[in-house]
Amino acid sequence: MALMFFSEYDDPREWKEHLVALMPDLDVRIWPDLGRLEDIDCALVWKHKPGDLKRYPNLKMIVNLGAGVDYILTDPDLPRGVPIVRLVDPYLTKQMSDYIVLTVLAYHRRFPEFARAQRERRWQYIHPVDPARTRVGVMGLGVLGGDAARRLRELDFQVAGWSRTPKAIDGVASFHGADGLMPFLDRTDILVCLLPRTRDTDDLLDARTLRALPQGARVVNAGRGHLIVDGDLIAALDDGQIAHATLDVFRTEPLPADHPYWRHERVTITPHCASVTLPRTAAPQIIDNLRRLRDGRKLLNRVDPAAGY
C-alpha cells in the first residue's frame, strides 16, 4: 500500500518512522516526491492544498491529520466517494483535558483575579469555595468534550454537557439540541467550548447566548474561533456579563496584532496549542484503518461530510 503525506506543520520523517515501524511494507511518500500518482491508496494530510486530493485516481481513504475537519471539508474538489477519517489520538485527548482542567481550576481558584490584584499590588483575599457548588458546562460531548467532562467530574465539579444527541456519562447532566441550549447555559458558571466548526455551530456564542449565562460566568474556547462572535464577547466582557475568557482558537490565526483580544485585561490567549497530535500515539490508529481498508472492514472515526464533523 502507498500512503502520501502532506503537512506544512508536522515532521514527515517522524510520521514515516512511526507508521513504517507498525507496517513495514507501507510505502510512505512525502509530498511533493510522490512518484506515480496512480500508486497512491491513502492520503494523510493536514491543511492540504485545495484540489490536490483529486489528483490520485486510486485514492481509497483520506486521513485528516487531526481531530477538527472543518478545513478539509472546505475543499470543493474533494474526490467524491472517498471516505474521510479523522484522528482520535489518546494523547491528544488527554492533552486537551489537561488544558481544560488547568483553565477551569484556575477560574475556580480565582487566578485571573489574583493576577490582576498583583499588577495593582493589592492583597485581595477570596475564600476558596467547594467545587461541588461550581457548575461547569461542556459544549460538545464528543471524544474531547466527553473526556474533559469526566475529568472535571472527578474533581467534584457539577458538570453538564450539551450535544446534538443525548449522552449518558456518569454524573454528567445531559442537555441536547436547540431546546436544551438555553437551560444548559442558564446553569453554567464556567463554559467550556469543545464543539467542531460546522454551519450549525458558527456564531453560536453571540450576545443572546452569552446573556443566557449567569452574570460573571467564565468561558474557555478550545473548539474553533468561529463559534464566538468576537464583538459580542468583548461587549459582554466589558459590561461584566462575562468575567473572563480563555481563548485558544480564533477566526483568523495567527490572531492579528491589532485585535482587541490582545490588550483586553479579562482575556487569556494561547496560540492554538491546547492539544496536538503525536505520531507515536496516533500512528496505531492510522495503521488499524489501513488494515481495515485492505480487508474491506468498516473504517474507524469516519467523518460525516453532511453533518460537517
CB 204, min distance to ligand NAP, A: 8
Q: Residue 223, interface with ligand NAP (CB under 6 A)?
A: yes
Q: Which residues contact 171 (CB under 8 A, 6 or more apart)?
A: 153, 159
Span near ligand NAP by CB under 6 A; candidates 24-32, 77-85, 271-279, 286-294: 271-279
With CB under 6 A as the contact rule, the residue among 158, 275, 285, 289 that binds ligand NAP is 275
Cα gap 237→22, rounded to integer Å: 49
With CB under 6 A as the contact rule, the residue among 222, 229, 233, 286 that binds ligand NAP is 222
Catalytic residue (one of 150, 251, 259, 272): 272
Q: Specify whether 135 is catalytic.
A: no
DSSP string over 66-109 = SS--TTGGG-TTPPTT--EEE---HHHHHHHHHHHHHHHHHHHT
Q: Which residues contact 82 (CB under 8 A, 6 or more apart)?
A: 53, 59, 60, 61, 62
Q: Which amino acid is at 212?
A: A
Total of residues contacting ligand NAP (CB under 6 A): 29
With CB under 6 A as the contact rule, the residue among 12, 68, 83, 183 that binds ligand NAP is 68
CB 92, min distance to ligand NAP, A: 6
The Cβ-side half-sphere exposure at 214, using a 13 Å CA radius, reads 13
CB 71, min distance to ligand NAP, A: 10
CB closer to ligand NAP out of 241 and 275: 275
Cα gap 278→10, rounded to integer Å: 9
Specify whether the CB–CB gap between 168 and 70 falls below 8 A: no
What 3-state class would DSSP assign to 160?
Answer: strand
Q: Which residues contact 132 (CB under 8 A, 6 or more apart)?
A: 156, 157, 158
Q: Specify whether 224 is catalytic.
A: yes
Span near ligand NAP by CB under 6 A; candidates 33-41, 105-113, 135-143, 237-245: 135-143
Nearest-CB residue for ligand NAP = 142
CB 65, min distance to ligand NAP, A: 11
Query: Given the C-alpha cell 500518482, which residue does it identify?
Result: 37
Query: Given the C-alpha cell 485514492, which residue does it identify?
Result: 59
Catalytic residue (one of 224, 226, 244, 266): 224
Q: Residue 140, interface with ligand NAP (CB under 6 A)?
A: yes
Q: Residue 67, interface with ligand NAP (CB under 6 A)?
A: yes
CB closer to ligand NAP out of 164 and 244: 164
Q: Residue 309, interface with ligand NAP (CB under 6 A)?
A: yes
Both ends of the chain: CA-CA distance in Å?
A: 27
Q: The sheet that has 2-7: what strands, in order across it?
A: 27-30, 2-7, 42-46, 61-64, 84-86
CB closer to ligand NAP out of 131 and 142: 142
Residues 147 to 166: which contact ligand NAP by CB under 6 A? 162-165
Q: Residue 84, interface with ligand NAP (CB under 6 A)?
A: no
With CB under 6 A as the contact rule, the residue among 7, 64, 97, 198 that binds ligand NAP is 198
Specify whether the CB–CB gap between 134 and 124 falls below 8 A: no
Cα gap 105→102, rounded to integer Å: 5
CB 89, min distance to ligand NAP, A: 9
- Footprint of ligand NAP (CB under 6 A): 67-68, 96, 140-145, 162-165, 194-198, 200-201, 222-224, 248-249, 272, 274-275, 309
| Catalytic positions | 224, 272
